[in-house]
Each structure stands twice: as C-alpha cells, then as structure tokens.
Structure 1
Amino acid sequence: MTPTAVPDVPAVQREVRLAARAEGQLTTRHFTLAEVPVPQPGPGQVLVRTRVMAVTAAMRTQMTGAPLPMPSFVPGQALWGSAVGEVVAAPGGGFAPGELVHHPYGWREFAVVDEGRLRRLAPDALPTPAAHLSQGATAWGALTRAVEVRPGDTVFVTGAAGGVGSLAGQLARRLGAGRVVGSTGSERKAARLRAELGYDDTIVRGAGPIDRQLRRAAPDGIDVLLDTVGGEQLTAALAAARPDARFALVGALATQLGGDGGAVAPVELDAGLIITRRVVLRGFGLHAHPDLPQEWTKEFGQGLRDGSLVFPHALLKGIEQAPRALCELTQGHHIGAVLVEL
C-alpha cells in the first residue's frame, strides 16, 4: 500500500505535562496542557503526527517518583507512552511520509523519534489503527509462552476487565481452556465478561472473601493464573492451585491503582503450597519478547476479521481528554483498553 500524503505541519502543537507528583487520588489537576513549537527532526530521526495514544495503569505509578525499572515522569515535562501515528518528515530516508508507525511518545500531537524506536505498521494488518494499541500481546505471550495453556485447563485471570484481562479470557478459550474465571470490580463489568469476553464465571471484589468466591467459581482448583493484580487475589489463587499449576505475573494493579499509586507489591505466599503442589510462578514482560507484537498482530487481525475476537476499548477524542482518560482508568470506569484519539 502506498503511503498517503500528509497535510502541512503547523508551527505549534499541544502536549500534556505532569503538573506535580501524584499523591493520593489522581485528578486532572495533576496535568497541564501546553502549546509548544513543533520539533524538527535531525539526522536519523523522524517527525511523527500522533493519531491514537494509550493510557495504562503503569503511568499512574510513573507519576509518583517511586523507584521503578522504567523512568518516572518529570514535573513540568510532557508524559510519554505507546502511540500510533503517521510519518510527516523523515530526512534520513528510512521511512516515508504517510507511513503508519508505532512510537513511544504519546501525550503530544507531534513527536521527533529516533528511527530505531519506531515500528512500521502495515496499514491493512488490523481493521483500525487503534487496534495496534491493544494489550493483547501481553495476554497472548503470557498464555502461550509463560504458562502454555493446555486443552481442558481451568484458567483464572485477575483484573479481567482491564486491557490485558479483557482479551485474556477470549484467548484462553481460543487456546482450549475448559473453564475460564475472571475477577473484576463490579457486577456490571462481571456481566459483560460472562456475556461477551469468554468468561464462564466471575469474582467481584467487595462481594465477599476472594478465596471463598474462587472456590465457588473453580471448585476443582485452577491450572493457570494470569495475574495483573497481585495482593490477596494472588494469595487466593495459590490456595486454589492444582498440582503443577502455572502462574504468570504481569502486573500489580492492587498497588498501581491504589491511593498512592505505589510500585511495591508485597504479598505473603505459602512456600509449603508452592513446593508440595509444584507451582511455577513466572514474571512476564513484553519487553523481553520483541517478536511478540508481530505474532500477536497476525493472530489478532485474523480473530477480528472472522469475529472470533473482539477488542473492548474506550476511545476519548482530543488530546485535552488524555488526563481525564487516565483518571477514569484508575477509577475503574472502563472495560478494556483506554485510548485517546488526537
């Protein structure tokens, strides 16, 4: 497909900056919207116009200044994150104007990006550019590589209404799971998980002890855990583990979306259960599998086109809505990915 022509570049653009470290509940007062000159690309760089950007729970933690394995956001400077855009100018010649690309500098209308940090996207690989910002690659990689879901497995997904979990239930079913159970924060979300997103049963936080609900939903125990939450849900999953159960840990929403947005997620686990039941616990991160996005895009595109997969997401319009999008994500307002169209 030939790259499309791009319109003229304005002199100024808008970007969202961190106004102050986030302590307590996140609000739009933690952000400012600034107008700045559109940057100019240098050798080996590309100017990209952002079309769609994602907001994620990890961004809440990056706003706190807590020690992290990735850089924290800096007060007075623009935030960043996963985005899809089109190339506007590429003086180095490695890209062509109009090409669709993935880049790591959302939260601004234009970004100058080193060529090595861009990933070219086939315009017909997925039905919409927004679908390239699903968190399905993490779910797919965790279920196929970290825990290797097998036919007949009972799978428990924590945070099942989030960007990872809303696809994980569908994928577990696609991989042959016999029973899929998910946890979420409200009965409204639980009903949709059961009706549309591959879950046989659900656990609702606040509707009773998690371990008791899990015993009801999976009376014979679980073979696989995909954990995005940690905390008491991880403890309950271990108590319900069958022999040789496999656990993939991909997130810590229990602390990331808490009042302080902390990064540390301590949890007490019974070492005796881990040993006697031979439970495998494995951390999983997409950054360690650079081939996964391409693999996932092929799987996702096929599933979206034949109707066997759906992409739950909320799409807010306008860069000025990005702060509200992240606040609403931390408050649990949405199901699936939370995206902003610029």
Structure 2
Amino acid sequence: MKNNEIQLTAQIAAVPGPEHFTVVQADVEGEVVVRTDYLGLAATYLELMRADCHLPIPAWQPGQRVGVMAIGTVLSSTSPDLREGDLVQSMSGWSTHSAGPAASYVKLDKDAYPDPSYYLGQGPTAYYGMADVAKVGQGDVVFVSGAAGGVGSLAGQIARNLGAKKVIGSAGSQAKTDYLVNELGFDAAFDYHHDPIAALKELAPEGITVFFDTVGGALYDAALEVAAPGARFALCGSLSTQLGDAADRFPEPDREAAQARGVELLPFSCHHTPDQIAAWHQHFSTALGQGRFVYPRTVVETGIDGVPGAFLAMLRGEYRGNVSVRLA
C-alpha cells in the first residue's frame, strides 16, 4: 500500500513555515492497514517540532513523520481483534495510510458521536485542567484566556457544567467574543486587545477564583490583578509567546506577586493518561447527549499536501474551536 506522509524537514527555531515540512511517499504493510480519514491539529505540536522542546515527551526529529492522533478506517486485517471497516484511532500522524500490529490501534464506537472528528481535539486537557487541577465547583468565578481556541472553548463549558457561578472568556475579536456568549454559553467575554484589567474588573468586581490560562503574557498579569485571595491558576499554555525563542516562549510567572495575593499557581502537562482521556469522554458524551455541551470545531477538508498549511493557519488564529483535517 502506497502512503504519503508529512515529515519534519528541519526543527523550528522561531516562526514555522512551509519550508519545515516535506511530503514523502513510502510503502506500508502490517497486520492491520488503515486509511486515514481525520487528523488532529493542536498548537502543542509546534513545541514538539523544536530542538529545545519543553514537553515531557521527545521532540520530533528531521526526517520523522509528524506523529499525532488520527482517526481512520481499517482496509485490511489479519487480526481477530480488528475487521475491515472498523473505525480506529492511533498515533499514525500526518499520513494517508498506516499499518502495524492491531495493538497499536484503538477500536472506536462509530455511534458514540455525530462525527469521528469528535474523538480528536483537546478535551482531555480542558477537562483535566478544570476538574482535577483547578477543581472548579459551585460558586467559582472562572476566567478562561484564549477562550475561542481548541482548549479554551471546551474549558469554559466544562466549568459551567461543574457548577461555576460565572464563566468569563477572552478572545481576539468582537465576532469571537459574541460567539463565546451567544453560542457557547459563556456568561461574559471581552476582546483582549482593549485593556483586559479594566474588562475583568468590570465583569468580575468580586474577583476571579479560577483562571484557566492558555495564553500567558498580559492576560496572566490581568488575571493576577483581579484574583480573589486563594484563587487557583491552572496554567495550560503560553500562546501569546509561543512563536519566540525558548526564553521568550516560557516566561516565568510572577510567583512573588502570586504569593503576595494568595494565588495558587498550578501548571500542568497536556500529555494525558488513559484514565484522564476516558474521564473526558465520559463527561463529553453525557453532556453532549443532554444538550449541555456545544462542540466548537473547524474541519478543514484538504489533501495531505495541505495539512501543513492548515496547521500554520491554525497557529495564526484563523479557525475556531478544535481543528481537525478531513483528508479529501
């Protein structure tokens, strides 16, 4: 079986571009052969493309396939565990086909969600951060930065489902803030370009008790300014600085100011255990079935050649919600 895959041409020092990716053709064979239908896209992948990766998993090397989560259909199998036509999930990455032992694939329930792309996305990060790290509950006033993105758009809804009194989001345009309030059920939202400290003081005069941060930078500073004593800051990412060099990408949070305000800083990993993933899908499928969840997503339809371009567009903020590619 012929397979076209995207390999990393060179590790990225600063801003990524098309020159960092190459399409390579290779034969694939194995116990199970799978056609890739959907590929996941997430900002986290950029960090794995850097030599100075700051994640608890190895960085991708030049000449290596971009190995991310994918959903596909079994084309052939000699294993009793998988049959032709089964829907499966694997880390086969940016490729048109994959092959390997049956143990490297997870069979999925075709009827669990309206579309297979619902299995992709960054729900485990959002759920773990809100439920287990920040421990959101009744009475919390929650602020989510980057709330129109793949993690933030889920995190805000999870906070509401866990009993938060008020959920506030920030995004980069009026259209996105309207989307958060009118479609995703946030109580309030503001454009971060316009004085975030003033916006938060107006929207949360009593102070925020939980901050779910995917952005860092000025929004972290604004959250600290309006944090109530004992607030919990779940630190998930730093999108505002992610395109810089290592020193700029991961600025050290002002721990002294946080300590002075009684704020608890809770950084956490986006690399999840099977139990954490299962907990997310339990919450997601139940809430979705009860009409308590909207899944914000963008599905880009393109050939394998267009996947790097879709990834770069996602980093520029051109899509809403969780982004996946449906291979055409």
Common fold by TM > 0.5 = yes
In 2: Cα distance, 1:184 partner to 1:65 partner = 30
Structure 2 partner of 1:308: 292
2:317 equivalent in structure 1: 332
> 5+ residue gaps in structure 2?
none
Q: What are the Cα deviations for residues 270-306 of structure 1, in whole angstroms up to 9, with x where unaligned?
A: 42542552x3222233535421222322322233334
- Is the 8 Å Cα contact of residues 29 and 100 (structure 2) preserved in structure 1? no
* Contact 2:146/2:214, CA 8 A, preserved across alignment: yes
State the AA in 2 paired with 1:266.
P
Q: Show the counterpart of 2:40.
A: 54
Question: Of 29, 40, 65, which residue of structure 2 is paired with 1:78?
Answer: 65
Aligned to 1:159: 146
Unaligned runs of 5+ in 1: 1-10
Q: How does 1:169-208 map to 2 (within 5 A)?
A: 169-208=156-195
**Aligned position for 1:8:** none
Correspondence for 1:41:
30
Partner of 1:224: 210
Quote how far apart the aligned CAs of 1:330 are.
Answer: 0.9
Deviation at 1:223, TM superposition (A): 0.7
How far has the Cα of 1:261 moved from its partner?
Answer: 8.0
Q: Structure 2: which amino acid aligns with 1:121? A: L
Identity of aligned residues (%): 36
Deviations 1:38-95 (A, max 9, x none): x1126xxx43321111111111222232233322222233211111122334445443
Deviation at 1:328, TM superposition (A): 0.6
Equivalent-residue separation in structure 2 for 1:121 and 1:153 (angstroms) = 35
Match of 2:74 among 84, 87, 90: 87
| TM-score, structure 2 normalization | 0.90
Letter in 2 for 1:254: S
| CA deviation map 1:109-159 (0-9, x unaligned) | 112345444333222111211000021222122111111211221001111
Bigger mean CA offset, 230-239 vs 184-193 = 230-239
Q: 1:67 is matched with which residue?
A: 53
Change (3 A) 1:198 1:267: farther
**Shift of residue 203 of structure 1?**
3.2
1:266 to 246, 251, 255: 251
Contact 2:13 2:51 in 1 (8 A): no
Q: TM-score, normalised by structure 1?
A: 0.86
Stretch moving more, 160-169 or 118-127: 118-127
Q: 2:68, 2:91 within 8 Å by CA — same for their partners in 1? A: yes
3-state secondary structure, aligned to 1:287: coil
Which amino acid in the other structure matches residue 131 of structure 2?
T
1:250 counterpart letter in structure 2: C
Equivalent residue letter for 1:242:
A
In structure 2, give the amino acid aligned to 1:33.
V
- What is the CA–CA distance in structure 2 between the aligned matches of 1:275 and 1:148, rounded to whole Å? 22
Measure how far apart 1:339 and its partner are: 0.6
Does 1:148 find its partner at 2:135? yes
- Which of 305, 310, 313 does residue 320 from structure 1 map onto? 305
- Count of aligned residue pairs for this structure pair: 325
Q: 1:98 to 1:176 in 2, by over 3 A?
A: same
Residue of structure 1 equivalent to 2:233: 247
- What is the CA-CA distance between 1:101 and the residue it aligns to? 1.9
